[in-house]
Amino acid sequence: MRAPDPRFAGFVVPELIRRNATVRALIRDPANAEKARRLGASEVVTGNLRNPQSLGNAVEGVDGVFHIGPAFAPDETAMGVAMVEAAGRAGVRKFVFSSVIQPTNTRLKNHTSKVPVEDALYSTNMEYTILHPANFMQNIAAAWPSIVRDGVFSEPFPKTAKLARVDYRDVAEVAAIALTEARLSYATLEPCADGMHSREEIVSMMSEELGRSISAGEPTFGEWAANTRLPYDDRQLQLLAKVHEHYAKYGLGGNSLTLRCALGREPRSLRSFIRELALQTAQVA
- What residue segments make up the domains of the chain, in order of their start? 2-134+166-191+255-268
CA distance 285 to 282: 5
Report the percent of the chain where pLDDT is more than 90. 89
Helix axes 115-122, 76-90, angle to 10 degrees: 20
Residue 210, helix vs strand vs coil: helix
Confidence (pTM): 0.95
Over residues 206-244, the pLDDT tens digits come to 999 999 999 999 999 999 999 998 889 999 999 999 999
Over residues 166-210, the pLDDT tens digits come to 999 999 999 999 999 999 999 999 999 999 999 999 999 999 999
What DSSP assignment string belongs to 101-146? SSTT-TT-HHHHTTHHHHHHHHTSSSEEEEE---EETHHHHHHHHH
CB 154 within 8 A of CB 225: no
Q: How much is the pLDDT for 184?
A: 98
Q: How much is the pLDDT for 254?
A: 97
CA distances from 273 to 58, 165, 185, 209 (A): 35, 11, 29, 10
Q: How much is the pLDDT for 90?
A: 96
Give the pairing of strands 94-98 and 135-136: unpaired
Domain at 2-134+166-191+255-268: CATH architecture: 3-Layer(aba) Sandwich (3.40)
Task: Specify the amino acid at residue 193.
Answer: A
Task: Specify the amino acid at residue 248.
Answer: A
CA distance 283 to 285: 5
Over residues 65-114, the pLDDT tens digits come to 999 999 899 999 999 999 999 999 999 999 999 999 999 999 999 999 99
Mean of the per-residue pLDDT values of the chain = 95
Over residues 267-277, the pLDDT tens digits come to 999 999 999 99
